[in-house]
Amino acid sequence: MTEMRYTTLGRTGLEVSRFCLGCMNFGSEQPWMMNDRDASVDLIHEALDAGVNFLDTANVYSSGESEEIVGDAVASANRDELVLATKVYGDMRDGPNGGGLSRKHVLDQCEASLDRLGVDYVDLYQIHRWDETTPIEETLAALDALIESGRVRYVGASTTTAYRLTKALYTSDLEDYGRFACVQPEYSAVARHEEANLLTVAEGEGLGVIPWSPLAGGFLTGKYERAADPDEGTRGAASESVRAYFTDENWAVLEAVRAVADEEDATPAQVALAWLLERDVVTAPIVGPKTIEQLRDDLGALEVSLSEEQVARIGAPKVARYPKV
């Protein structure tokens, strides 16, 4: 089995595995999800046995079902070694105050997430989106209260803009609130729009970066072909966001990934993940396997060492590397 490696989350002293297990697939809300609860628990146990100590979920994933499954899986694990991350923002019920980042919703949903996860605290609590209707000062004050109470160890942001992230960091510094320790952007060899924006801020401010969709919804695994429609039952068939990757430019990236995979006797997924691990700004890509075989394949990326030429060849069809600050 691949030997896990660890790093710190941004400028914190928190040690996390170089891969984070994404738990959005655990649940029954969509046909492409893992509908077998026992299989989901087994996959989490396999990840833990492989040395993955970092798990990422959210309250809205299958309306809380993902958190419940994670809670079941980690109940027998050593809590001191786990880094559990979840998120808040999305609507969890109809009616007023059912979503957003108001103090009420943030505090209420943290308690609900703790209950579903079966733990006394979460290691990383992230705002899932930016709330246009709630002042960021209110949200940050609520998150800071959770840190002070011991229910949350660190806070972070997912899917925001460089300006908003900078504003939140400035406000935290000004008001002495707990600062975001990391950011969770979309980032892969075919989704590099944040290199000159959010990632520049993250690098300059010393934030950890835990990219979601590092395999572009499965596109970079090589499961799809340029001249064929996606197979029924795949995310490519069900999701317009995945099919949006099907551009000439992105097919060129995939061709480069496949060529490097042949050179290294690796899979395209391993090469795509290894390419991300070569980015200095990246802490831990969030992988979302649906089988133990896929998990093992993803973790095998740690054994793939790419040359500078190979890294450049994969990146060549896209924009240049984000500038240094």
For 10-25, the pLDDT digits (tens) are 999 999 999 999 999 9
pLDDT of residue 233: 65
Characterize 263-288 residue by residue with b for buried, 16 or more Cβ atoms within 10 angstroms of its Cβ, and e for exposed.
ebebbbbbbbbbbbbbbebbbbbbbb
Q: Residues 140-197: pLDDT tens digits? A: 999 999 999 999 999 999 999 999 999 999 999 999 999 999 999 999 999 999 999 9
- Give the distance from CA 133 to its chain's centroid: 25
pLDDT of residue 319: 47
| Catalytic residue check, 163 | no
In angstroms, the CA 186 to CA 206 distance is 18
One of 6, 61, 125, 170 is an active-site residue; which one? 61
Confidence of residue 318 (pLDDT cuts 50, 70, 90): low
Averaged pLDDT score across all residues of the chain:
93
Is pLDDT at 322 greater than 60 in this prediction? no
Is pLDDT at 227 greater than 80 in this prediction? no
**Range in 92-101, 272-281, 309-318 the model is least confident about:** 309-318
Q: Residues 201-222: pLDDT tens digits? A: 999 999 999 999 999 999 999 9
pLDDT top residue among 231 and 199: 199
